[in-house]
Structure 1
């Protein structure tokens, strides 16, 4: 997916909590508005043999990954004569606004994709239904998936998401610029010392080697990765308090801000300018998402590589997102749709090697460990981080609190506020949001 579209996707974080329409979705029971449609009890494990049924499938795959999902949907439709999946694609920000309203009015889709940071909010407001029957019937277990992505699909003791993928941050580098600075392009820096030495070598050749963007995409993601590497956490164990202003967070934001102060990065880097500069031979290093693989492949003449995020803080860690399947609540129960939707979710989950080609790490271990996936060198390189990935906690409205961290990073990287103060001020605002959300969502 291209950079702009992927940024729009990530911009959905927190948008759901601000929509203000979710409370219209009632909890209800079977047969009442907002109730979960009854399933057959087998979670779709035995397939679907009922009458012809059409399933609306909503997602925000507007960029380069969209055709890959379309190919999977077409294959499913070809193999299931009695199920027709109709895929509707929209920008993620629009999606998160429209979905709850559509569910409330009875016009919601039968199947949807959701980011892990939005699952808890939707679950708390009864927009989506639990999927424990799917996991049980299809014999899906935690050991079938990376631990972190499996747990990310749970809220309040129930499963609301079936993991499809992980899209981690990775280290992309321009091999041509590395060679010009006397660095070995086959051995990208992997430690703090190696990284700083590489930046110094590049600087000696007049190259600002790591442009630090003050925006969420991908500056905030980089700072979060660094915070975890320094041994910190964004929030305490029950997410009642913000902890990013503690020592690990200060170290993380200081390191990132120093890229500007020490001349390894220009000041006031525009959105996406860091990535564009690498493709145009002006910047050597960028930390960007796995979706960037296909963006770089499209740039003719670009000699590049990708590796795991360098271990700057001492503990391997990287930011990641995840797309998870969810089933929106049906205002009018429909057992046929409910069963067919589960059949579709299981099908795509098992066929996710095609999805990986679009720039993703499959959530299922059997797909990640397949020869087909290992034949994708760039995706495989970033998949080595799978046990070191981090997601936001499954707490309703968590995106609203994280928006304050975005502000802190922006202020610090633009050299308007020192890292410690920026983080402390943002943490104070975040704590008030967390408290308000506990009352708002009844947590």
Structure 2
């Protein structure tokens, strides 16, 4: 196959790797920052409305680019379906600015009625009193109930018996492939889809086979100098072994070192520097796959719009069950209710109606590559007709989210810290050293005190 010209390096999508990591704000930062946030509240669209304007829903999100455009389409649909609601959206920068401002707004009494949060960040917010719970009876009045969601995902939104997050989507890491190369490598089934690669041996053999066809790399993965990629691929494979990781407050961490070694040894064999490169950045892996220099790419489904524009014969599948149990690293964009000092019952009602309408209009979101969390949409004929989205939709049934601890989650410093172990395994001192490095990092995090404890 003749190599295609390399495309421009794409920008990261909002769900993808952050430009920098962030720790949860300290109590002092939140209290001091609340005053500064209040001064700029009107610019952020969060200044209090008039007492008579009980239908206003101030809504914060972190969606930009293509996701931002699709969000606007969903907002337009909500406005058409509920013209009595006055939705005031505000878009904040992904990562540190967003989560810090959200926490400060809750502490300072200047929070919007609703906001988007990665489900993995909930343990750092709900226990500290930074969010209000949803009224499930009120949601049901607007057509949304717990039974409409994958149980494992819905349960991640529950803290201390109350529901604090309503999932909009699941966005997992999946396996993209060039269908033409996969066909020539003998990796497609009779339906023209990628056949099961459900063992370490089959996965490695597939990488070698497609590397021969591409003349470059087989299964490619970008992780160098990235805040999250090293952790994402380790954590999903570790979960596939069935091993547990316990991170009790104060530590030490309880890591199954034998299974961790098994995972790192497999990854070192996969990214051997010959069949598949071991030193790719996130962007260089995307560019290598889209230009035809690699036949497969392990990546978040949030890159689907870019890949559809740049890969002529694009296929996608859930990440294979390499070890014993299915599951792929995932997160979920979810709606939350930032804490209100004196909530207006009518605005609370409006916020519940808005959230219900957004999840019911999430087919638009599915077109972007995300898996709608609301089952009536995900199971609809319209969504099932989308390709390759419907080919990896089953990944939403077995999501592997971050550990339920305050310091984990999207855009966290924890991700950056633990991700370094992958590089040690595949291009440094090797898998054994990677296990020791990871164990030390996990012990360090487990020993830390939640800075938001006591904030209420």
Fold shared, TM-score > 0.5 on shorter chain? yes
1:115 shift after superposition: 0.3
In the superposition, the TM-score normalised over structure 2's length comes to 0.82
Deviation of the 1:279 alpha carbon: 0.6
Q: Which runs of 5+ in 1 are unaligned?
A: 26-49
What residue is the counterpart of 1:197 in the other structure?
205
Aligned-pair CA distance for 1:411: 2.7
Q: Does structure 1 residue 254 correspond to structure 2 residue 265?
A: yes
Distance across 1 between alignment mates of 2:263 and 2:250:
20
**Structure 1: distance between partners of 2:231 and 2:71:** 28
Instruction: State the match for 1:114 in structure 2.
Output: 117
SS at match of 1:100: helix
The root-mean-square deviation of aligned C-alpha atoms, in Å, is 3.0
**Which residue, 355, 367, 379 being the options, matches 2:365?**
355
437 and 388 in structure 1: CA distance in 2 versus 1, 3 angstrom threshold: same
Shift of 1:211: 2.4
Is the alpha carbon distance of 1:380 and 1:179 closer, same or farther for their aligned partners in structure 2, counting shifts above 3 Å? Answer: closer
The corresponding residue for 2:444 is 432
Q: CA deviation at 1:433?
A: 2.0
In the alignment of these two chains, the number of paired residues is 417
The SS at the match of 2:11 is: helix
List gaps (5 residues or longer) in structure 2: 1-8, 33-51
Preserved CA contact (<8 Å) 1:168 1:382? no
Query: Do residues 420 (structure 1) and 424 (structure 2) align?
Result: no
Cα distance change, pair 87–343 in 1 and its aligned pair in 2 (3 A):
same
Establish whether residue 411 from structure 1 lines up as the match of residue 424 from structure 2: yes
Cα distance in 1 between the residues matched to 2:57 and 2:422: 42
**1:58-89 deviation per Cα after TM superposition (whole angstroms, max 9, x unaligned):** 11111212111111112222333332112111
Distance 1:184 1:366, change over 3 A: closer
TM-aligned CA distance change 1:280 to 1:244, over 3 Å: farther
Structure 2 SS opposite 1:355: helix
After superposition, the C-alpha distances for 1:334-364 in whole angstroms (9 at most, x for unaligned) are 2232221111011112222222112211112
Counterpart in the other structure of 2:83? 81
Provide the C-alpha distance between the structure 1 equivalents of 2:406 and 2:378, rounded to a whole number of angstroms.
Answer: 30
- In the TM superposition, 1:345-424 aligns within 5 A as 345-399=355-409, 400-413=413-426, 415-424=427-436
* Residues 423/115 of structure 1: CA separation in 2 closer, same or farther (3 Å cut): same
Tell me, yes or no, if the aligned pair for 2:236 and 2:327 is still in contact at 8 Å: yes
**1:212 aligned to 221, 227, 230, which one?**
221
Q: Deviations over 1:222-254 (max 9, x none)?
A: 222211222223436999653445222221122
Q: Distance in 2 between matches of 1:146 and 1:306?
A: 21
Distance in 2 between residues matched to 1:431 and 1:156, nearest whole Å = 26
Instruction: Please give the secondary structure, in 2, of the residue aligned with 1:291.
Output: helix
The match for 1:98 among 98, 101, 111 is 101
Change (3 A) 1:169 1:358: same
Secondary structure of residue in 2 paired with 1:226: helix
Shift of 1:22: 6.2
What is the TM-score normalised by the length of structure 1?
0.84
Structure-1 residue corresponding to 2:300: 289
